[in-house]
Amino acid sequence: MNDSGIDVERASDGLKATHRRFLRFLFVGGLNAAFGYGVYGLALFAGLSLPFSLGLANVAGIAFNFVTSGRLVFDDRDLRKFPRFVVAYGLAWGVGIGLISIVSRLGPSRLLDPWPALKVLANRHRAAALDDFVSGVLLLPVSAVVTYWLLARFVYRNDAHSSGTK
């Protein structure tokens, strides 16, 4: 305890736990992103629209993400939190649609010009799908931060500062 009545050691432990949790979130997020982004890419290049492709990726990934995020990041297996989880992912989907639509208008597939193999891909598929795909890749860090914030503050809000099986 310091002179101002703050338990510095306890505060430091809480910060370390939050740091570890965020690092676990990033690792699990990579796993979840690979799964969800694979579904998203397959849907886009199969000719489905951006909203449907992103929606399909979210729906397919929600159960997978609920299990991995709940268990591996927040150490929580409470199935009653699933509705809040779905709402959080719905909000993340909406943010994703908006941001991808904005960035896609800038034509980010032009960033692929130095790679001839990727230009072949651009010629074989709609340019708009490639712009949507590249926009999604560029926005993955933003998506990760938004999703972590929603999960920690809305879904697992009572458990974000503690550990143990819930």
- Asked whether residue 103 carries a pLDDT value surpassing 60, the answer given is yes
- Asked whether residue 115 carries a pLDDT value surpassing 70, the answer given is no
Residue 26: the pLDDT is 85
- Asked whether residue 17 carries a pLDDT value surpassing 80, the answer given is no
Q: How confident is the prediction for the chain on average, in pLDDT? A: 80
Residue 165: the pLDDT is 45
Overall size of the chain counted in residues: 166
